[in-house]
Structure 1
Amino acid sequence: MSHTFDSINDKEWLKETHLKRSNRSVELGKQAINELIKQGKPVTYKNISNLSKELDPEGKGIHPNTIRTNDALYGYYKQHSKTYKQKENGKNLKPQRIELNDNMDFRKIKPDRKIEKVQRNYMKLSKQELVQRLILAEQYIAENNTKWVANYFEMFK
């Protein structure tokens, strides 16, 4: 017993409705993205969705999944989203052996430095740069511990 189902998308009146909704989503999404850029906020699915509800005269806005499924809106999102670009850049990185040739001199770090400024600077670094800095710090600590232990035992000879 074989049943054939007519595709819902083949209905002419439904295509027109779908096109209207799709165009509405694109317009609202683009408005939201442009507004986020003006405000200096990150262009993310959630931010676009929330802002579109404020911009929409009906108050409905668009769902985050609409951004992914609507090709025109998704393309516009990819152009302006830094988080999307970060994910794309992260995919292309292969695990590499980290070269420990950093010019970081841990002896010059002052104990009375402004921690907030240091934190801001660390937040600007990539994950790979942070890992490299952490490895360098651990190496520095390990070498100094070895020197300290050697000097400590030299005093008792």
Structure 2
Amino acid sequence: MSHTFNSTSKRSWLKDNHQKQKNRSIQLGKEAIDLLVNQGIPVTLETISDKSKEIDPSGRGIHKNTIRSNPELYDHYKQHSKTYKQKQKSHKSRFKQFTNVKRAEYQKLTLQRNLKNVENKYMSLTKKELVQRLIQAEQYIAEKNKIWITNQFELFK
């Protein structure tokens, strides 16, 4: 049974209130970002949220998710945030690094390696990067199995 609510009023007061809150968030966020840039403080979601609480007359400020969910404010954040840009660059370079794994790297693996370091390396990868790495490892194992079976068959003759 589906319940639908048929509203008879347009509730313009609610739309007006929502628009005021949205404008307040944009204004506070942009002011906080500009202050952080002028003060030389790194622009992160956390610092924007903290700075907005300092400059807000009511002391409420804005939440980090408000910055993410508001496209205009999030674009302003991306333009001024060095950490956001660094994160984007490092993610791209790290992904290229692990998608171009050479087969020779698998031959260099030894049993005496530090497994904690290996675990840390894999924990820093994204799901997509892990899947790519797993596919490459399976391909390498399949090729080596084929070579081994061929050699065993030749020895049997």
Q: TM-score, normalised by structure 1?
A: 0.56
Deviations 1:1-60 (A, max 9, x none): 2211458xx742221111100110111111110110111010001101111111011111
Letter in 2 for 1:87: K
Identity of aligned residues (%): 58
Matches within 5 A, 1:39-50: 39-50=39-50
1:2 paired residue number: 2
Deviations 1:47-92 (A, max 9, x none): 0111111101111111111100111111100100011111211232
2:81 paired residue number: 81
1:64 paired residue number: 64
1:90 and 1:76 mapped to 2: Cα distance? 21
Cα RMSD (Å): 2.0
2:40 and 2:68 mapped to 1: Cα distance? 22
1:6 and 1:15 mapped to 2: Cα distance? 17
1:6 and 1:68 mapped to 2: Cα distance? 32
2:25 paired residue number: 25
Matches within 5 A, 1:1-157: 1-5=1-5, 11-93=11-93, 94-95=96-97
SS in 2 for 1:68: helix
1:20 and 1:27 mapped to 2: Cα distance? 10
The more displaced of 83-92 and 13-22 is 83-92
Task: Structure 2: state its 5+ residue gaps.
Answer: 102-157
SS in 2 for 1:53: helix
Q: TM-score, normalised by structure 2?
A: 0.56
Q: Measured at CA, do residues 55 and 90 of structure 1 come closer, stay the same or move farther in structure 2, by a change above 3 Å? A: same
Task: Structure 1: state its 5+ residue gaps.
Answer: 98-157
Count matched residues. Answer: 96
SS in 1 for 2:86: helix
2:15 and 2:3 mapped to 1: Cα distance? 24
